[in-house]
């Protein structure tokens, strides 16, 4: 506001009470207006914009997670500037104006700004335009995702609204359909078209009533080349914060509300930490082709209910493919092995694994029904075919004829794995998927859990491609696992040392081949080149496994051709 109107006072309201349904489950934890963009909560950005534009007093309505909203405002530099109006029942977009009528009607006009809109619109220029126009309402319109406001253009940057949602039935040859931006200026005459008392109602209904009684009383302001984003969905929000918008630098937020991506792993799922001063949670955002999304919810809920290490699931939205889960922190076993005694770390994890296997066996048919997935022969052979296609053929360039000759031996490995006692396995039980939180073992990436070979998870841990485990330590930990299983009294975990040794060798081979297939697929097909770094350790583990297979007295097969490939491939020259 400038010029002769610089002493003219205008108040404003930010609509910030909404539940943020399209952003669930993120908004189950953080109200939408407090979501940070460029490191600053959206509400703070809007308040600063209104204050800088000369808005004298500001109303902010609250409902959803009101205590978080109130805490933020009251502990910010704007505590004396913004007045909070709490709604015990949500009042829509019109009721909040009535609820804050005492403040909004102090001035001839007031600005309305939706609390979920990110924009670089110049509020001062908008108010000047409104005051000059003589209109009762000035709606900021743009060509956007929901073009429902019919406007007759008066100039390149202005027009007259003649209909909304087709409710009046008017048209014009030159009229254009545009999107209401969620930003508007109202003269206080608008209260004639709103209820006397604050009830749930729409501001659009009031605007339509004004249009019917006074055609031409609603103007359109058409800003050119403005930034505008309604942060409408989970994917849209995280895309926005992953590629920050270019705005004027913001001062640090008064409240350390943070949302930031966690390190990417092998899958296309993305994880973001939502952080408050007193707590934090994590959002997983999946992708349309993810066939394991429902399994993540079902398995995670069941295992957590039974105290079996998965994070608590607080909410999810199938349409958004998003899940709000417990934050397990950053202490992966992978990190802890670099800082702590390796033997102690592995014993802690093995104790947990034995307990996990014991308890899921004791849950019996209930567990099988809830998980409802098992390694079968095709599933095990898929792993070795994955290894053949990606590691042998794509990475090493092994000819088809030589690869075909290996398949009958891989058949025998799979058949032998199925002879083992079948227990619930995580299926990717390696150091980056195992966390320690509050001195307790927790697991992530569990959506692939299924019933399978008893030694599969143990060998995923002890022949982990991410960690170089000395052979003596591996043998010590295998012996430790064996002793612990024999203390359980559970049938599936009761076997002789000789049987266990065979179980470990077979499961280790099966797992090593799957891991090498994954490393090469992720690096060569998905472009995640960091996984090439883990191939040498994976190859070392596989060579050791082939040697161990050779030493079994009742081995089901041998793998001399595979060993020859590994020892002589130029790609693996040591």
Query: 87-91, 108-112, 141-145, 190-194 — which is least confidently predicted?
Result: 141-145
The answer, yes or no, to whether residue 251 has pLDDT greater than 50, is no
Q: What is the mean pLDDT of residues 504-509?
A: 98
Q: How long a stretch of residues is the chain? A: 574
Confidence at 280, pLDDT banded by 50, 70, 90: very high
- The residues, any chain, with a CB within 8 Å of residue 479's CB and separated by 6 or more, are none
Q: Where in the chain is the domain with CATH 3.30.200.20?
A: 262-326
Provide the pLDDT for residue 238: 86
Average pLDDT for residues 548-570, to the nearest whole number?
94
pLDDT of residue 277: 81
Residue 14 — pLDDT band, cuts 50, 70, 90?
Answer: very high
Question: What is the distance between the alpha carbons of residues 321 and 248, in angstroms, rounded to a whole number?
Answer: 33
CATH 3.90.550.10 residue window(s) in the chain: 3-230
Whether residue 493 has pLDDT greater than 80 = yes
CA angle, 436 as apex, 431 and 438 as ends, to 5°?
A: 180
Q: Where are the CATH 3.90.1200.10 domain residues in the chain?
A: 333-572
Looking at residue 2, what is its pLDDT?
53
**547 has pLDDT over 60:** yes
Quote the pLDDT of residue 173.
86
Average pLDDT score over residue span 43-51: 95
pLDDT tens-digit readout, 321-373: 999 999 999 999 999 999 999 999 999 999 999 999 999 999 999 999 999 99
Task: Categorize the per-residue pLDDT at 299 as very low, low, confident or very high, splitting at 50, 70 and 90.
Answer: very high
pLDDT digits (tens, 9 = 90+) for 376-420: 999 999 999 999 999 999 999 999 999 999 999 999 999 999 999
What are 201-246's pLDDT values in tens digits?
999 999 999 999 999 999 999 998 889 988 878 888 888 887 654 4
| Residue 247 reports pLDDT greater than 70 | no
Looking at residue 92, the DSSP 8-state letter turns out to be B
Would the pLDDT of 509 be above 80?
yes
Check: CB of residue 133 under 8 Å from CB of residue 125: no
We find that the CATH architecture of domain 333-572 is: Alpha-Beta Complex (3.90)
Rg for the chain (alpha carbons), in Å? 31
Domain 262-326 is of which CATH architecture? 2-Layer Sandwich (3.30)
Predicted pLDDT of residue 232: 77
- pTM (predicted TM-score): 0.85
How does the average pLDDT of the chain come out, rounded? 92
CB within 8 A of 194, min separation 6: which ones?
Answer: 94, 97, 98, 201, 203, 206
Would you say residue 162 has pLDDT above 50? yes
Does the pLDDT of residue 3 top 60, yes or no? no
Please, what is the angle between helix 400-418 and helix 560-568, to 10°?
130
Query: Average pLDDT in the 249-262 region?
Result: 64
Question: What Å distances lie between residue 440 and 233, 424, 427, 434, 435, CA to CA?
Answer: 35, 20, 20, 10, 8
Would you state the pLDDT for residue 574?
60
**Average pLDDT of the segment spanning 110-115:** 96
pLDDT category, 7, cuts 50, 70, 90? low
pLDDT band per the 50, 70, 90 thresholds, residue 103: very high
The closest of 456, 291, 295 to 372, measured between CA atoms, is 295
How much is the average pLDDT of 300-323?
Answer: 96
C-alpha–C-alpha distance, residues 311 and 294, integer Å: 15
Nearest to 391, CA basis, from 465, 319, 318: 465
Domain 3-230, CATH among 3.90.550.10, 3.30.465.10, 2.120.10.30, 3.30.300.90 = 3.90.550.10
């Amino acid at each position: 506001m400038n010029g002769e109107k610089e002493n003219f006072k205008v108040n404003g309201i930010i609509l910030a009470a909404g539940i943020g349904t399209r952003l669930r489950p993120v908004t189950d934890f953080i109200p939408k207006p407090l979501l940070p963009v460029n490191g600053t909560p959206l509400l703070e950005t809007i308040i600063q914009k209104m204050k800088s534009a000369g808005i004298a007093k500001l109303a902010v309505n609250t409902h959803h997670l009101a205590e978080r909203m109130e805490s933020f405002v009251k502990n910010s530099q704007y505590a004396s500037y913004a007045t909070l109006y709490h709604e015990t029942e949500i009042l829509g977009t019109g009721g909040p104006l009535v609820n804050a009528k005492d403040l909004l009607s102090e001035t001839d006009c007031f600005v309305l700004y939706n609390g979920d809109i990110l924009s670089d619109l110049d509020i001062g220029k908008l108010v000047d335009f409104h005051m000059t126009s003589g209109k009762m309402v000035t709606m900021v319109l743009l060509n956007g995702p929901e073009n429902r406001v019919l406007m007759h253009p008066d100039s390149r940057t202005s027009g007259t609204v003649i209909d909304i949602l087709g409710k009046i039935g008017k048209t014009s040859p030159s009229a254009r359909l545009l999107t209401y931006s969620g930003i508007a200026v109202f003269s206080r005459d608008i209260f004639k078209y709103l209820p006397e008392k604050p009830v749930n109602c729409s501001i659009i209904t009031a605007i339509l009533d004004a249009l019917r009684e006074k055609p031409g009383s609603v103007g359109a302001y058409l800003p050119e080349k403005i930034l505008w984003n309604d942060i409408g969905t989970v994917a849209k929000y995280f895309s926005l914060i992953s590629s920050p918008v270019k705005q004027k630098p913001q001062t640090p937020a008064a409240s350390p509300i943070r949302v930031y991506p966690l390190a990417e792993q092998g899958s296309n799922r993305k994880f973001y930490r939502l952080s408050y001063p007193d707590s934090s949670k994590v959002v997983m955002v999946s992708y349309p082709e993810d066939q394991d999304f429902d399994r993540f919810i079902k398995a995670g809920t069941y295992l957590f209910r039974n105290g079996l290490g998965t994070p608590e699931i607080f909410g999810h939205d199938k349409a958004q493919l998003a899940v709000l889960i417990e934050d397990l922190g950053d202490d992966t076993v992978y990190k802890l092995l670099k800082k702590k005694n390796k033997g102690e770390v592995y014993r802690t994890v093995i104790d947990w694994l034995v307990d996990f296997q014991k308890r899921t066996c004791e849950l019996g048919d209930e567990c099988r029904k809830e998980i409802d997935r098992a390694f079968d022969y095709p599933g095990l052979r898929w792993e070795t075919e994955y290894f053949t296609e990606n590691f042998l053929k794509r990475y090493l360039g092994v000819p088809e004829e030589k690869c075909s000759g290996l398949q009958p031996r891989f058949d025998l490995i799979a058949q032998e794995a199925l002879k083992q006692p079948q227990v619930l396995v995580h299926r990717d039980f390696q150091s980056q998927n195992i966390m320690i939180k509050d001195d307790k073992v927790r697991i992530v990436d569990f959506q692939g859990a299924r019933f399978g070979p008893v030694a599969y998870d143990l060998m995923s841990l002890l022949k982990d491609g991410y960690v170089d485990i000395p052979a003596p330590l591996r043998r010590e930990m295998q012996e430790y696992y064996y002793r612990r299983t024999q203390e359980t009294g559970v049938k599936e975990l009761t076997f002789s040392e000789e049987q266990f040794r065979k179980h470990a060798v077979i499961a280790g081979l099966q797992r090593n081949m799957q891991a090498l297939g994954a490393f090469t697929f992720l690096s060569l097909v998905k472009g995640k080149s960091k996984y090439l770094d883990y191939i040498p350790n994976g190859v070392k583990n596989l060579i050791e496994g082939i040697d161990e297979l050779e030493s079994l007295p009742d081995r089901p097969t041998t793998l001399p051709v595979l060993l020859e490939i590994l020892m002589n491939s130029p790609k693996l020259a040591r």
